[in-house]
Every structure is written in structure tokens, then in C-alpha cells.
Amino acid sequence: MPSSPVETPASISTVSIAERMAQVDARIRAAAEACGRDPATVALTVVSKTQGVEAIDAVLAAGARLFGENRVQEAQTRWTQERARPTDVELRLIGALQSNKAADAVALFDVIETLDRDSLARALATAIQKAGRAPRLLVQVNTGEEPQKAGIIPRDLDAFLRSVRDDYGLSVEGLMAIPPVDEAAGLHFALLGKLAARNGLKVLSMGMSGDFETAIRFGATHVRVGSAIFGERKSPEAPSRV
Ligand SMILES: *Cc1c(COP(=O)(O)O)cnc(C)c1O
């Protein structure tokens, strides 16, 4: 049910967040079915960066369990100080990780989606060994080879994956990408799928509010959705800065 503009602001936020999440869930299901995929093979990662307590509580109440965060400290505040983290909540780091925060990230996150360089692989391997806890790992790929964007460029990926495994003893379960804003996302999703298949990787984190249905068509197993659920973010957290 679309939220009507005459609702009072107080009632909108919680109600419409739950409604919008239900709409996103329904769109994911429809997109999967439209291409002959089992909807259960597509997971919704709710991108909770910048959101306040009430917004998060609304999506938790609506059933969200996978959350994407792009800053380690902000995620610590949200998931250890503002509330006790429900035990079945999975936290996924989707923003750039500095090597000096590797230990904090290993302690907090279940999945780190942004492994993108040798020095970070080394820092994560050290932190994982110390902590005795190993988040699952995705490698971020810079499919558009944009100079300002993080990620391994496609032609370096296979060697990087080998090095992560053989030199650091880390296992990688999939790939993540953020396509260039000004290009057809489908080409980039197709490329990421091809790179994953070639390396025997099963997890594909791709697709955001504007293009998650396309990503599902190209095999996404995890779509990262923020603004389609919460509305436009007030503070600028453009993915292109990640
Ligand atoms: C913010 C962000 C998203 C969510 O973007 P929306 O367009 O708000 O859905 C997804 N992925 C990454 C890496 C992000 O930083």
C-alpha cells in the first residue's frame, strides 16, 4: 500500500519503512521468479549506514536480519551501544576498510565484502589468527576500472585470489562490485558473474536500490538496499566514495 502524503510525519517513518521493506521483498521475489530463480537464493542486505535507532528498529521488527554497514566505528556504535545486537543479525561490512581497523572489523563483522588489496589481506590474516574468529570474505572488484573507486581490477583478480588463499591462508566466498553510475549496470553484473564462475565462487553481492532487479537477473545472491527502504539518506554517503 503506497504511503499517502496526508499521513502525519510521526506515523510515516515506522509504518512506511515496514511497507517499503515489504515492497522491496516482493520486488526481489518477482525479479527472481521472472528469471526462473528460486527467490530463496537471493538475500536482502539492508544497508543501515547513517540510520538512527528508530529506523533500524523498524526494519528489525519487519524481519530484516542481514545488515550492511560501511564504517567500522559507526557500526560498532549502532550494533553494540545503541542496542544489544540480536544474535541472529548478520553484519556485513560493505565500505572501505583501513588496515589499522582490521582487528575491529574482524571482531564485529560476520562478513567483510571489501577485501581489495594485498596489505588488507595481510592485516586480516593477522587479525583473524589473533581473534580466533574468521569473518567470511568477499573480494571487491572494480569492474569499471574507475581510478577513484576501490576494488581489484578484473585482470588482476585471479592472481589476487590465489595469493589471498596461498600466501595468507584466507578463503574467499564471493565477489562484490559497485558499477559506475553512468554505465549500464547489467554489463558490470555480467562481468562480475563471469569472474566469480571462473574462480568457482558462489556469492555475488551486487545491486543497490536503483538496480537490484537487474542484478538478480545476472545472478546476484545478495542485493544491498538502503534508500529504497529508508528513503534518501540525509548525510552524503555516496557509494562512489567507498
Ligand atoms: C550505500 C550503499 C548501498 C546502498 O545504496 P542505496 O542506493 O541507498 O540502496 C549499497 N552498497 C554500498 C557499497 C553502499 O555504500
Ligand 1 atom with the smallest distance to the CA of 176 is 13
Residue at grid coordinates 580466533? 132
Average pLDDT, stretch 83-103?
Answer: 97
Average pLDDT, stretch 127-136?
Answer: 98
Ligand 1 atom with the smallest distance to the CA of 70 is 15
Nine cell digits for residue 60: 528489525
Q: What is the pLDDT of residue 23?
A: 97
Alpha helices of the chain — where are they, by DSSP H?
A: 9-34, 53-61, 72-76, 102-108, 118-131, 154-166, 185-198, 212-217, 227-230
Q: Is the CB of 70 under 6 A from ligand 1?
A: yes
Question: Which pTM was predicted?
Answer: 0.92
Alpha-carbon Rg of the chain, whole angstroms? 18
Q: Of all protein residues, whose CA lies closest to atom 10 belonging to ligand 1?
A: 224
Q: Is the CB of 74 under 6 A from ligand 1?
A: no
Q: What is the pLDDT of residue 240?
A: 45
Average pLDDT, stretch 156-164?
Answer: 98
Q: How much distance in Å is there from the Cα of 47 to the middle of ligand 1? A: 6
pLDDT > 90 in the chain, percent: 88
For 214, how many CA atoms within 13 A lie in the half-sphere containing its CB? 14
Spatial distance between the Cα atoms of 110 and 69, rounded to a whole number of angstroms: 11
226 neighbors 47 (Cβ within 8 angstroms): yes
Ligand 1 atom with the smallest distance to the CA of 47 is 4
What pLDDT band is residue 75 in, cutting at 50, 70 and 90?
very high
Q: How much distance in Å is there from the Cα of 177 to the middle of ligand 1? A: 11
Residue at grid coordinates 529506523? 55
Q: What is the pLDDT of residue 89?
A: 98
Q: Is the CB of 224 under 6 A from ligand 1?
A: yes
Instruction: Tell me which of 9 and 203 has the higher pLDDT.
Output: 203
What pLDDT band is residue 232 in, cutting at 50, 70 and 90?
confident
What pLDDT band is residue 12 in, cutting at 50, 70 and 90?
low
Q: How much distance in Å is there from the Cα of 167 to the middle of ligand 1? A: 31
Spatial distance between the Cα atoms of 215 and 227, rounded to a whole number of angstroms: 17
- pLDDT at residue 8 is higher than 50: no
Secondary structure (H, E, C), 100-163? HHHHHHHHHCCEEEEECCHHHHHHHHHHHHHHCCCCEEEEEECCCCCCCCCCECHHHHHHHHHH
> Which among 238, 224, 226 has a CA at the least distance from the CA of 113?
224
Ligand 1 atom with the smallest distance to the CA of 227 is 8
197 neighbors 181 (Cβ within 8 angstroms): no
1 to 15, 28, 228: CA distances (angstroms) = 11, 17, 15
Q: What is the pLDDT of residue 237?
A: 52
